[in-house]
Amino acid sequence: MAKQPRAWQRMLSGRRLDLLDPTPMDIEIEDIAHGLAFVARWNGQTVGDYAYSVAEHSLLVETLFGRVVPKALAKWRLAALLHDAPEYVIGDMISPVKAAVGPGYGALDERLEAAVHIRFGLPTKVPATIKRQIKKADKISAWMEATQIAGFTQGEADKLFGKPDPAIIEGLTLVLRPPVETRRDFTARHAQLLDQCK
């Protein structure tokens, strides 16, 4: 009988996360923050001395979500911050690669997201209205990233992600910095939001 391939990953916290059957008890925010701070958006095809990380993107999406929905509850802002949390173990794949991989990627992402949500007191499924608003913030972030650091023209970004309301992005600029700084700020913001959820 053939040996089953290993389906777990050892985290720096010492946890062993089973990717096929993740449990909330094996999820630590320090592992998420560390992983996301070292995962590059845009497959690393961005200008600057540092990669633009998923952790940095997540901080921006949470900020944008707060502007899109100014009266959002802290738990939904936390959901926005954690919207790409599964990528701390499965990485960030650009949309064309996700399409090529097929439905298996989506199922894995959903299982990990549900475990992350349970771990931090969020519902496994975010209400559709909130999910749409987080997606809107995500697309605005993608537009900003595309035009500021990924080499897209504004016309290309408008076509792919939709032209954002200038008021939503006013005063916001992308930050490229060492992963340890992003990791620290992601962890701190998570703690603030978790505290506000009490």
Q: Give the model confidence (pLDDT) of 176-188 as tens digits.
A: 999 999 999 999 9
- Is 186:33 a contact under the CB 8 Å cutoff? yes
- CA-wise closest residue to 191 among 41, 67, 82, 53: 82
What average pLDDT does this structure show over 118-142? 97
Q: Which of 152, 184, 197, 192 is nearest to 63 (CA)?
A: 192
> How crowded is residue 56: how many other Cβ atoms within 10 Å of its Cβ?
27
Whether 2 shows a pLDDT value over 90: the answer reads: no
Range with lowest mean pLDDT among 1-10, 11-20, 22-31, 37-46:
1-10
pLDDT band at 113 (very low <50, low <70, confident <90, very high): very high
Beta-bridged to residue 18, according to DSSP, are 8
pLDDT of residue 1: 63
Q: Is the pLDDT of residue 50 over 90?
A: yes
- Can you say how many angstroms the Cα of residue 100 is from the centroid of all Cα atoms in its chain? 21
Residues 6+ apart with CB under 8 A from 15: 26, 27, 28, 31
Beta bridge partners of 8: 18
Using only the alpha carbons of the chain, give its radius of gyration. Answer: 17
- Mean pLDDT for 110-116 is 95
**At CA 112, angle to CA 70 and CA 75, rounded to 5?**
20
Contacts of 173 (CB under 8 A, 6+ apart): 148
Average pLDDT, the chain: 93
